[in-house]
Amino acid sequence: METTQGRPARLRVGVIGPGRVGSVLGRALGRAGHKVVAASAVSEASKERVATRLPTARILEPAQVAEASDLVLLTVPDDDLAGTAEGLAATGTDLRGKILVHASGAHGHGVLAPATIAGALPLALHPAMAFTGRDEDLDRLANCCFGVTAPEQLRPIAEALVVEMGAEPVWIPEDRRTLYHAALAGGANHLVTLVADSASLLSAAGVPDPGRLLAPLLGASLDNALRLGIHGLSGPVLRGDAGTVAGHIEQLRENAPESVVSYVELARLTADLAINAGMLRPEDAERLLDVLRR
């Protein structure tokens, strides 16, 4: 692909799967100077999304989208990626030299193998952010990173496209892609679960506005964790307060038994990390772990 001063040449972009992610990435590429020419949309919601967010795109069948485009955003659900790539190749569509991009965090470029064999240039560009389907998603791209995985010779193209969308590329080797995604899903998804569970427990404790109480504490904890790692830890596990932890577990058993297992397992993991970092004294750790075992 020809470039100008390190930037990818202007491309005709197609979107197969114009959902929350695909429509935003299409808009971001359009804002960078490329032209979204086609999209595949079946549901009325998808067609409406194309009309409002990708107004220059014609609605076509997937094979026709690929034929009309230089770069195809294959933004379908993770489990549909391999089948969609295989389907494109099976139609006999000329994929030679076409850039085929998916945005799944769980997969590298290998999932696009059927299309790659047919001549497509496979890129895995995963935006590490939560998409709401609202207009602010586009602006948030400028503050996020993309997990980038591609054949080595395509790495400059992949990273340049991410930079053009206003984001920062982070290289992820193909064989580490699932581990990368597990880390993100565990951090982001489980964080929501933990906060929701904490807010529910506070409501049960009589707190009228749990969010107001939690916001400063959780904001500081997140900042500490991002800057300091486990050394940003505070609280009863770090102090080895076995009695306090035992009291927590007793109250959870009485009032929220569904939360006991997660509390105990996370306390164990927290203790292990603190011990390995030399932050928890052996004698304190022994008492604490004994409580958690019981």
Q: pLDDT (tens digit, 9 = 90+) per residue, 161-203?
A: 999 999 999 999 999 999 999 999 999 999 999 999 999 999 9
Structure confidence at residue 5 (pLDDT): 45
Question: Is the separation of the CB atoms in 81 and 17 below 8 Å?
Answer: no
Is the domain covering 3-172 a CATH 3.40.50.720 domain? Answer: yes
Percent of residues, the chain, with pLDDT higher than 90: 89
**Start-end of H helices in the chain:** 20-31, 44-53, 62-68, 81-90, 113-117, 136-140, 155-164, 177-204, 210-228, 236-239, 242-255, 260-276, 282-293
Q: Give the 3-state secondary structure of residue 15.
A: strand
Residue 256: left (phi > 0), alpha (psi -120 to 50), or beta? beta
pLDDT band at 6 (very low <50, low <70, confident <90, very high): very low
pLDDT in tens, 204-245: 999 999 999 999 999 999 999 999 999 999 999 999 999 999
Residue 2, pLDDT above cutoff 80? no
pTM score, two decimals?
0.87
pLDDT, mean of residues 10-32: 95
Q: Are 98 and 14 in contact (CB under 8 A)?
A: no
Q: In this predicted model, what pLDDT tens digit does every residue of 249-276 receive, in sequence order? A: 999 999 999 999 999 999 999 999 999 9
Give the confidence band of 294 by pLDDT, cuts at 50, 70, 90. confident
pLDDT in tens, 131-151: 888 889 999 998 899 999 999
Contacts of 142 (CB under 8 A, 6+ apart): 166, 167
Report the alpha-carbon distance of residue 22 to residue 103 in Å, rounded: 8
Distance, in Å, from the CA atom of 148 to the CA atom of 177, rounded to the nearest integer, reads 9
pLDDT of residue 8: 55
DSSP 134-165: STHHHHHGGG-EEEEE--GGGHHHHHHHHHHT
Mean pLDDT taken over the chain: 93
Yes or no: say if 123 and 147 are a contact pair by the CB < 8 Å rule. Answer: no
Cα(108)–Cα(219) distance, rounded to whole angstroms?
33
Is it the case that residue 4 has pLDDT exceeding 80? no
What is the pLDDT at residue 142? 85
Furthest CA-CA distance within the chain: 68
Q: Where are the domains of the chain?
A: 3-172, 180-293
At 111 the three-state DSSP class reads: helix
Classified as helix, coil or strand, 114 is helix
Per-residue pLDDT, averaged over 6-21, amounts to: 85
User: Over the stretch 52-87, which tens digit does the pLDDT of each residue have?
Assistant: 999 999 999 999 999 999 999 999 999 999 999 999
CB 167 within 8 A of CB 144: yes
Quick one: which of 106, 162, 120, 117 has its CA closest to 16? 120
pLDDT of residue 143: 86
Please give the average per-residue pLDDT across 121-134, as a whole number. Answer: 93
Gyration radius (Cα) of the chain, Å: 24
